[in-house]
Chains A and B, each alone.
Chain A
Amino acid sequence: MNKINRTVTARALAILFAGSVAFVGCSSSPDDAQMKQLNDLKEEVASLQKDVAAKEAQKSDLEKQIAEKNAKLKKCNDDQAIVKTRLAK
Chain B
Amino acid sequence: MKLKSMYVVLAALLVFCLGAAVAQEMTKDQWQQEITKTTAARNELSAKAKALDNDLTSMNAQSTQLDADYQKCMDALYALVGSDASKAAAYRSDIESAENTANDLSRLSDADLVARSGDVDALAGRVKGLWENKLSLIPEFWDRLTALNDKVKSLQATLANQVKVYTVGTWAKDRDCLWNISKKKDIYDNAWLWPKIWQGNRDEIKDPDVIHKGQKLKIPKGNELNAEEKAAAKKYYAKKAEK
Q: Which residues of A contact B (CB under 8 A)?
A: 9, 12-13, 16-25, 27-30, 34-35, 37-38, 41-42, 44-45, 48-49, 51-52, 55-56, 58-59, 62-63, 65-66, 69-70, 72-73, 76-77, 79-80, 82-84, 86-87
Chain A residues, Cβ within 8 Å of B142: 86
**By the criterion CB–CB under 8 Å, are B69 and A73 in contact?**
yes
Counting residue pairs across A and B whose Cβ atoms lie within 8 Å, the total is 134
Max chain B CB contacts within 10 Å: which of A16, A23, A49?
Answer: A16
Q: Which of B12-20, B108-116, B158-166 contacts A (4 or more CB under 8 A)?
A: B12-20
Q: Contact: B62 with A66, CB < 8 Å? A: yes
Cβ contact of B20, chosen from A23, A28, A84, cutoff 8 A: A23
B94 interfacial contact with A, CB 8 Å:
no
A-chain residues with CB within 8 Å of residue B59 when the two chains form the complex: 59, 62-63, 66
CB contact between A48 and one of B18, B45, B63, B137 (< 8 Å): that residue: B45
**Could you say which residues of chain B place their CB within 8 Å of the CB of A21?**
19-20, 22-23
Interface-located stretch among B33-41, B98-106, B181-189, B199-207 = B33-41
User: Within the assembled complex, what's the spacing in Å between the Cα atoms of A25 and B22?
Assistant: 10
CA distance A85 to B194 in the complex (A): 51
Q: Distance (Å) between the CB of B70 and the closest chain A CB?
A: 5
Distance, CA A25 to CA B45, complexed state (A): 35
Let me know if B237 is at the binding interface, CB within 8 A: no
- Report if A83-B77 is in contact (Cβ < 8 Å); known contacts: A27-B28, A52-B49: yes
Question: Are A52 and B73 touching (Cβ within 8 A)?
Answer: no
In the bound complex, how far is the Cα of B233 from the Cα of A11, in angstroms? 141
Contact A62-B137, Cβ < 8 Å, known A51-B49, A73-B70, A80-B76: no
A34 to B38, CA, bound (A): 13
A13 and B73 in contact, given A20-B23, A45-B38 (Cβ under 8 angstroms): no
A15 to B72 alpha-carbon distance, docked (Å): 89
Option from B24, B25, B63, B73 in Cβ contact (under 8 Å) with A76: B73
Residue B209 interfacial (CB < 8 Å): no
Are A79 and B23 in contact (CB-based, < 8 A)?
A: no
Contact A69 B66, CB 8 Å, known A48-B45, A76-B77: yes
CB < 8 Å neighbour of B38 from A41, A65, A76:
A41
Query: How far is B139's CA from A77's CA once the two chains are assembled, in angstroms?
Result: 12
Q: Are A44 and B35 in contact (CB under 8 A)?
A: no
For the complex, give the distance between the alpha carbons of A76 and B73 in Å.
Answer: 6
Q: Is the CB of A45 within 8 A of B69?
A: no
Contacts of B63 in A (CB 8 A): 62, 65-66, 69
- By a CB distance below 8 angstroms, the chain B residues around A38 are 31, 34-35, 38
Q: A21-B22, A27-B27 are in contact. List 13 more A-B contacts (CB 8 A).
A: A13-B11, A20-B19, A20-B23, A24-B23, A28-B28, A29-B31, A52-B49, A56-B52, A65-B63, A76-B73, A77-B73, A86-B137, A86-B142
